[in-house]
Structure 1
C-alpha cells in the first residue's frame, strides 16, 4: 500500500529522505508515469524510498475557486494508480494561503529540503513552482545543488503516433466521449468513484435498479449512455450500462452517474464504488413514456454487453 502523508511540516526522519516526483499528477497518465520513472531510477540508485509530491486541493482550484469541475481522480484513486508504479509514499501537501504565497526559493528550501528532506526531485519539462510560477526545472536544479538534492527533468513524452499525453488531452477526450483515446493517454479507462446514494428509485419500477453516484468535482464527461465496469468495495467487478448526465425525461438538479449492474442483486447504498467508462454508446435522449424508455434501456444493455466483450477485462 502507498503511505499517504498530508503535510510537510514536523515530519519525523522516517518520513524524510525520499526520491520524489513533483507535480499535480491529476490522472497519473502516461506522461506523469514517465516523470515518476525518473524518480524511481534515482530512488534505486540512492537506495531511497520512492515518493510522489502532489497538492490538495489542486492549485487550479485554489486560484480559480469558481472554475467548472475539472478533476480526473480522487485522492484514493491517485494512491491506487501509484501503487503499481512502485511508489512508497504519496505526499499530498496542503495547497493553502501559505503555499500559494511561497517564492520558488522558499518552496525548494522550506518544503522540499527542510520539510521533506528529499534526496532527489524528478519534474516534467514544463514544471513551474512558487508564487507567480517563477520557478523552472533549471531553477530547481540550481537550488537543489545548494540545498543537497539532485534533479532530473523529463522531456515531453508523446505516443509514436503523436497522441498528446497530458491531463488536458484526457479532459478533451472524456468531454468528447472518446473513451478509447482517454484510456490510451491514461493507460487505463477513465473512472468515476463515489458513494452510492438514494435516487428516486424510478429504475426499479421498470426492472433496472441503478447505483447512483454524484459527480462532485469530477470533470463532466459527454452526457449520455456508457458501457461500464464497476468495482465494488469487496473487489468484485460487474459489467453494466450507465446513464450519465441530467436525465432529460426526469430533470436532475446536478449531473448523476446511474449504473445498472448486470447480474447483480444487492444493496450498495452508502458504499463507495468505482465505475470505469469503457465505451460511449449514445447521447442523452427524451422518450415518449416509460415503455419507450425501457425498450431503449434494453437496447443499450445489448450494445453495452457487445462493447464490453471487445474490451480488455
Structure 2
C-alpha cells in the first residue's frame, strides 16, 4: 500500500471511497470491502481518500478513535492499494467543491462507493448528487449492529466515554476475523 498527499496520485483508472474512517469500524469495513471487491472485479486499483485528523475531531475536538498510523495499518490489512491522506485543517476545510472534484479526476475513478449521507467540500456543500455529475457512484446502506443500532464513530466514542469498551471493541471489529 502506498500513501499520498492530496493531488499527488495520478491513475488511469481506480475504484475509490472517501471518508474520515476514524476507527475503521465494522461499518467502514463493509464499505471498504465493497470498494475493494469492485476494484478487483474491474481490474483497477482500490483507492481510499481519508483525512487526518477526521473532520469531526477537527471541528468538535472530540477524541480520535485511532491514530493515523493505526488507521493506515487497518487500511493496509483490508487491502487498499493507495491511500490519500489530506491534512484536515482550516485551509483544507475551505476547499470548494469544484477543486475537490478536479483532484478526484486525476485518479480517474470508474466507480466511487459511499454511504447515503456523504458530503464534502467547504460547508459540506458537495453531495452524492455532485459526485454523480462526473462519476458513477454506488451507495451502501449504513451497517447496524446486532441490537439494531447504527455502527458509527460517534457511537463508538460515546461507548468508550461510558466505559463500555467491550461493545465499542465489538463495533470496531477484528480485522483478523473477516475474510479479506
Question: Where does residue 129 of structure 2 map in the other structure?
Answer: 138
Cα deviation digits, residues 228-262 of structure 1 (max 9, x gap):
xxxxxxxxxxxxxxxxxxxxxxxxxxxxxxxxxxx
Partner SS for 2:72:
helix
Match of 1:83 among 61, 76, 81: 76
Question: Where does residue 287 of structure 1 map in the other structure?
Answer: none
Task: Supply the distance in 2 between the matched residues of 1:117 and 1:132 (Cα, whole angstroms).
Answer: 25
Greater per-residue helix proportion: 2
Which has the higher Rg, Structure 1 or Structure 2?
1
Task: Supply the distance in 2 between the matched residues of 1:180 and 1:93 (Cα, whole angstroms).
Answer: 31
Determine whether 1:173 maps to 2:159: yes
Q: How does 1:1-313 map to 2 (within 5 A)?
A: 2-5=1-4, 7-11=5-9, 13=10, 17-64=13-60, 67=61, 69-108=62-101, 110-114=102-106, 116-144=107-135, 150-188=136-174
Greater per-residue strand proportion: 1
- Provide the aligned C-alpha RMSD in A: 2.1
Preserved contact between residue 21 and residue 51 of structure 1 (Cα < 8 Å): yes
Kindly state the Cα deviation for residue 61 of structure 1 after the two structures are TM-superposed.
4.2
Partner SS for 1:120:
strand
Q: State the TM-score, normalized to the length of structure 1.
A: 0.51
Partner SS for 2:139:
strand
Q: State the TM-score, normalized to the length of structure 2.
A: 0.85
Question: Where does residue 211 of structure 1 map in the other structure?
Answer: none
Kindly state the Cα deviation for residue 43 of structure 1 after the two structures are TM-superposed.
0.2
Partner SS for 1:53:
strand
Task: Supply the distance in 2 between the matched residues of 1:56 and 1:179 (Cα, whole angstroms).
Answer: 24
Preserved contact between residue 22 and residue 153 of structure 2 (Cα < 8 Å): yes
In structure 1, runs of 5+ residues without a counterpart are 145-149, 190-313
Kindly state the Cα deviation for residue 124 of structure 1 after the two structures are TM-superposed.
1.2
Kindly state the Cα deviation for residue 139 of structure 1 after the two structures are TM-superposed.
2.6
Preserved contact between residue 17 and residue 118 of structure 1 (Cα < 8 Å): yes
More relative contact order in 1 or in 2 (CA 8 Å, sep 6+)? 2
Preserved contact between residue 46 and residue 81 of structure 2 (Cα < 8 Å): yes
Cα deviation digits, residues 204-245 of structure 1 (max 9, x gap):
xxxxxxxxxxxxxxxxxxxxxxxxxxxxxxxxxxxxxxxxxx
Preserved contact between residue 25 and residue 152 of structure 2 (Cα < 8 Å): yes
Partner SS for 1:21:
strand
Cα deviation digits, residues 144-169 of structure 1 (max 9, x gap):
2xxxxx21111121024313200011
Partner SS for 2:126:
coil
